[in-house]
Amino acid sequence: MYVQGVSTRKVKVITEQLCGVEVSATQVSRAAAQLDEVLQEWRERSLGEINYLYVDARYEKVREAGQVRDAAVLVVTGINPSGERQILGVLVSLSEHETHSPR
């Protein structure tokens, strides 16, 4: 599934409206690339020992192929031996019933 992203132009306008700061499309692209790096590091991190695992979904509206559809945002939460909760993974899917594999 492909979920359409937000254009750099839209991010630029929103940033200017919410923050009162002008940013260029280049700055938006650079920030997105940096976020991609951080997200990749998060995906590849060691999870350590997890005692409890919770898998849940919530539904959000997404635009796909020009149509607005409901998509399941699957969230996996783990609790480690010291009782701390961690988000272990997040995946957007058109159904809770699809088979998923890590990307």
Nearest CA among 25, 32, 27, 31 for reference residue 10: 25
Token duo for residue 11: 């991010």
Q: Give the pLDDT confidence of 44-57 residue by residue, as tens digits.
A: 999 889 999 999 98
Q: Which residue has the tokens 């607005």?
A: 68
pLDDT of residue 97: 60
Longest dimension (CA), the chain: 46
Q: Give the pLDDT confidence of 63-91 residue by residue, as tens digits.
A: 778 888 888 888 999 999 999 999 999 88
* Spans of all domains in the chain: 8-43, 52-93
Nearest CA among 43, 76, 40 for reference residue 58: 76
C-alpha gyration radius of the chain: 17
